[in-house]
Amino acid sequence: MKKIFYNTALLLISIGVLSSCESELDQVPFDEAPQDQVYQTIDDFENATLGIYETLTLPTLYGGSDAGGMLDAPDVLSDNVTFAQRGRGTRFTLHNFLYFPADEVLGGLYARSYEMIYRANLMLSYAEQFQGDPEDISNFVAEAKALRALGHLNVVSFFGKIPTQSSDANGSLGIAYVTSPDFELLPARETVGDVYNKIVADLTEALADINPDNGVARFDTEVVALLLSRTYLYMGQWQNAIDAADMVTSSIAPRDEVNDVWIDESRAGLLFYIPNTQDGLGVTQGVTWSQGGRFALIPEYVVSLELYQLYQNDDIRKMAYTLNASNGQLQFNAIKKAFGRTVGITGQVDFKLFRVAEANLNKAEAYYNLGNESSARTELDIVRTNRYTSPPSGETGVALRDAIRLERRLEFAFESQRFFDIKRWGLPVSREAFGDLADGSGTPSVTLSLPAGNFRFQLPIPQSTIDKNPNLVQNPGY
């Protein structure tokens, strides 16, 4: 991804955010010229689009943060990790469900997501005034709409219910779906159902116009189709989830390349990734999970022993996703995803946001819910035959459902999905009382469970946000 930045001071009263990103455009900096002098050429729209993508790599989104973000919070909130006593105590409040509005938990994620949405809206507003041929910028418009949808989906997944979570979810409090760059707006929260419908509308419109192949670090047809499939899955619209996932035609990573994917020696099965090198972005997102080397590890979180034991010895993901590490006499099951390349700076790897395997597992789950167990097993086995030397198969009924859920957990551990899956299935967070050392000794996490239906599955809207916009109301329970 070309390293494009621009300086913008965003007074987003509508969402209670005052943020800035100090960097420069290749062309005219947006804060040094009237907007109508910037959005004039195709290159201007290209630069603006790259500026939207740039937010994905920021701390509290996918860039890693001690405060929690998209990279880590879905696992920190779940049963995939155990709090490590030798670390710096990061995200303790988040991990143990001790958050209140004043804590501003995931406030950075909330702010940065709306910053990305603002950038998309600003570009889209000027696209409507473009004097040239609309076809010349239709791909940029499609990318902006898809990124706007992703930003809203990430926020509503944390701060609102997921449609399949409960019978009252669609009518419950969602978020403000912002489609205007007017920072004087004071929008109220919409229902979850309305928010998801707008996400679908943005993605559907994007899918109609986006290029089949936009190159590295850009959304294209398959990426948008996969994101649409995920959205439909969250909505419980099973056939729509399948139809969207069917548009993903790339191949899943074969077993012999899975480990190489996570040390950046293979791109197999990746639909969207952002290159990250020292002379490019230079982001060390892996330090979110641990610091130091394999034999001098200082972990913030480790792989929960329960999850570690779920990986069979013939499952390539055990080697690709987890790492036997130590510090003196202490042994850890460390998180290998984002740990680093074979050679280079620890914690610095490419950003990997969407993979082909999700399409197969989305279809497996959707087919099961439609009562088509044969097709569900077929999609599930596509994943399993590329992960195990002796893959399990042949399940029926509830056992098949559980196998699909297990493979989803194993496949996407430490990849921004687990908490949302637990939440949308209406399950509790249930952690085993194992400690933080490799054999399960040591100190367990303080809080081991969050009952299904508990109000804390919806994180509190940051109090500073509500203070700036009186039309926003807090989630129930806080």
Question: Percent helix, strand, coil in the chain (nearest 5)?
Answer: 40, 10, 45
DSSP-derived secondary structure letter, 426: T
| Domain range summary for the chain, segments of one domain joined by + | 1-74+90-209+455-478, 211-416
Same fold, 1-74+90-209+455-478 and 211-416: yes
Return all residues near 84 (Cβ < 8 A) that are at least 6 apart.
290, 299, 300, 301, 302, 332, 436
13-22, 93-102, 277-286, 335-344 — which is least confidently predicted?
A: 13-22
What's the CATH architecture for 1-74+90-209+455-478? Answer: Alpha Horseshoe (1.25)
Nearest CA-CA partner of 380 in 413, 405, 398, 415: 405
pTM for the model: 0.93
91: left (phi over 0), alpha (psi -120 to 50) or beta: left
Return all residues near 218 (Cβ < 8 A) that are at least 6 apart.
1, 53, 143, 272
Is the domain spanning 211-416 CATH 1.25.40.390? The answer is: yes
- The tally of CA atoms less than 13 A away on the side-chain side of residue 356 is 18
CA dist., res. 66 & res. 69, Å (int): 8
Q: In this structure, how many other beta carbons lie within 10 angstroms of the beta carbon of residue 258?
A: 23
DSSP string, 251-264: PPPPHHHHHHHTTT
DSSP-derived secondary structure letter, 103: G
Given CA atoms 330, 333, 338, 343 in this order, what sign does their dihedral have? positive
The predicted-structure confidence for 45-64, as pLDDT tens digits, reads as follows: 999 999 999 999 999 999 99
The predicted-structure confidence for 382-430, as pLDDT tens digits, reads as follows: 999 999 999 999 999 999 999 999 999 999 999 999 999 999 999 999 9
Distances (CA, A) of 407 to 91, 310, 357, 385: 27, 10, 10, 12
* Burial (CB count within 10 angstroms: exposed 0-12, middle 13-18, buried 19+), residue 333: buried
CA dist., res. 225 & res. 146, Å (int): 10
Q: State the average pLDDT over residues 307-311.
A: 98
Q: State the average pLDDT over residues 210-223.
A: 98
Asked if the model's pLDDT at residue 29 lies above 70, the reply is no
Residue 181: pLDDT band (50, 70, 90) is: very high
How high is the pLDDT of residue 183? 82
Share of the chain above pLDDT 70, in %: 92
